[in-house]
Structure 1
Amino acid sequence: MLVCGRNVAKEILLGNKKVKKCYLQEGFKEENILSLLEKRNIKINYFDKNTKDDFFKMPHQGIILDIEDFKYSSLDELNVDNAKVIILDHLEDPHNLGAIVRTVEAANLTGIIIPKDRATDVNYTVVKTSAGAIENVKISQVANINSTIIKLKELGFWIVGTTLNATDDFKDIDYSGKIAVVIGNEGKGISESTIKHLDFNVKIPMYGKTNSLNASVAAALMIYEIVRKGKDE
């Protein structure tokens, strides 16, 4: 997988992910990154800023890393005491996934669950949008969301979802214990088959004419309500 940008590169170099190749623009002077490259004994391939090669047309900020593919976590790795997990019900936009990854990492939640089919996976855009936070977030990729929710319930999780027709305010829910919050698809929301498995169906109040929020914004509100309630316990 190719990733680029100074913030992303720094997070990757600080972590344990294997870096197969590094490309630096001639004259690159970010000392902390250069030091990390030297410390990890990573060979540098230099390129001219005026190169016509399409390979270097991405917004690289002077650095491109060729890294190993993202390693997904098992569901068991997310099953910890008082786990707080975000389930993404067929989210398609990698920018939304990247933004949610960044918020999950900032709030120190347990991790994220995504489906294998009809949804974005972890790709370059997700890594870039997360600003490197992806290196510190556990993501489990599962075959079926509903089957996974059933398994989570057996493990003691309470399942919370946000829908337009809910009556309970998202701030009125008890988020103690093991909690999994379902965030729906950008256009369709949470699927009807998944709504049936929710223990709590909540709404985020809308006070203007807009009737819904971007998926990453809705996720951020839910995530920080979980954090706020956790501090109050």
Structure 2
Amino acid sequence: MNKSSFFIIGQHAVIEALRNPKRKVLRIFLTEESKKNIHKKSPNQNLLNNVKVYFKTKKELDKYSTRENLQHQGYVAEVEPIHKPILKEYIKDKDNITLICLDGVTDPRNIGSIIRSAASFNIDGIILKERNFPSESKLMYKAASGAIEYMNIFEVSNINSTLKNLKEKNFWVYGFDSNGKKDFTDIEWKGNNILLFGSEGSGMHKHTSKYADFLVKIEINKKIESLNISNSAAIVFHHLSYLKKRVD
């Protein structure tokens, strides 16, 4: 195993890694059944070309997922990380960008689910604090269900300074908070926007929330205290995608 490589598991995570020309897949471990399934899903493309393939039994593959209590589905791959995009370069000469910023969100399952929803509804990218991003987490890759291969993930050293710089470049920052005065569906959502989400437990850090131009909320049944962050994010992403389609 290379120093920079790591393992991912699960059908969608592994197949999408194989489909991604930017992702280097070093080795893949499959059951006979999962190999057949790969060919069924991509009959016109040999995804296993130039990849070292090893056939294993389901039991032999269990060792790669037992500790995380995950289902490998007969797919395990050793991969290298993708080249990290640079936020400053990405936003240059672009308009109508929508980015997510996760403040204090560290749970790999939630991050993976948010990545999956963001890719599904054409969000342009996700900003996270570098030390909070579980870049080699099997759980995150499994929860993202392959969507991580199609999402711009910007790892930054400081969330607050990043937001400050983006505001200076004509981005509006919308902090999602249950105490927000306005429902997010009442916003026009034009121009360049940052959707700022805090952690499930404590929400946005107090100092970080000061960088929000507006605090908005998702109106839900008063009897329910809150939504899971990944559910909240998916609702917002879908609404913005719907608005964009109406304009287009």
Say if 2:69 is the partner of 1:63. Answer: no
Say if 2:55 is the partner of 1:46. Answer: yes
Say if 2:126 is the partner of 1:112. Answer: yes
Aligned mate of 1:223, from 229, 234, 237: 237
Pairs within 5 Å for 1:1-20: 1-16=6-21, 17-20=23-26
Q: Which moved more, 1:79-88 or 1:207-216?
A: 207-216
2-structure distance, mates of 1:52, 1:85: 37
Instruction: Determine if contact 2:133/2:155 at 8 Å carries over to the other structure.
Output: no
Q: 1:62 to 1:164 in 2, by over 3 A?
A: same
2-structure distance, mates of 1:8, 1:53: 16
CA drift at 1:121: 2.5
TM-score normalized with structure 1 length: 0.91
Give the match's secondary structure for 2:58.
coil
TM-score normalized with structure 2 length: 0.85
1:43-76 CA distances to partner (integer Å, 9 max, x unpaired)?
A: 2112233449734645221121100024332112
Say if 2:84 is the partner of 1:72. Answer: yes
Structure 2 residues without counterparts, runs of 5 or longer: 1-5
Instruction: Determine if contact 1:89/1:191 at 8 Å carries over to the other structure.
Output: yes
Q: 1:18 to 1:110 in 2, by over 3 A?
A: same
CA RMSD in angstroms comes to 2.0
Q: 1:27 to 1:158 in 2, by over 3 A?
A: closer
Q: How many residues matched?
A: 231
2-structure distance, mates of 1:201, 1:15: 37
Q: Which moved more, 1:207-216 or 1:16-25?
A: 207-216
CA drift at 1:199: 0.9
1:100-146 CA distances to partner (integer Å, 9 max, x unpaired)?
A: 111111111110000023x2423221111111010000000101111
CA drift at 1:7: 1.6
Identity %: 33
Instruction: Determine if contact 1:24/1:47 at 8 Å carries over to the other structure.
Output: yes
2-structure distance, mates of 1:160, 1:61: 39
Q: 1:53 to 1:167 in 2, by over 3 A?
A: closer
Say if 2:32 is the partner of 1:22. Answer: no
The aligned amino acid for 2:198 is G
Structure 1 residues without counterparts, runs of 5 or longer: none
Give the match's secondary structure for 1:141.
strand
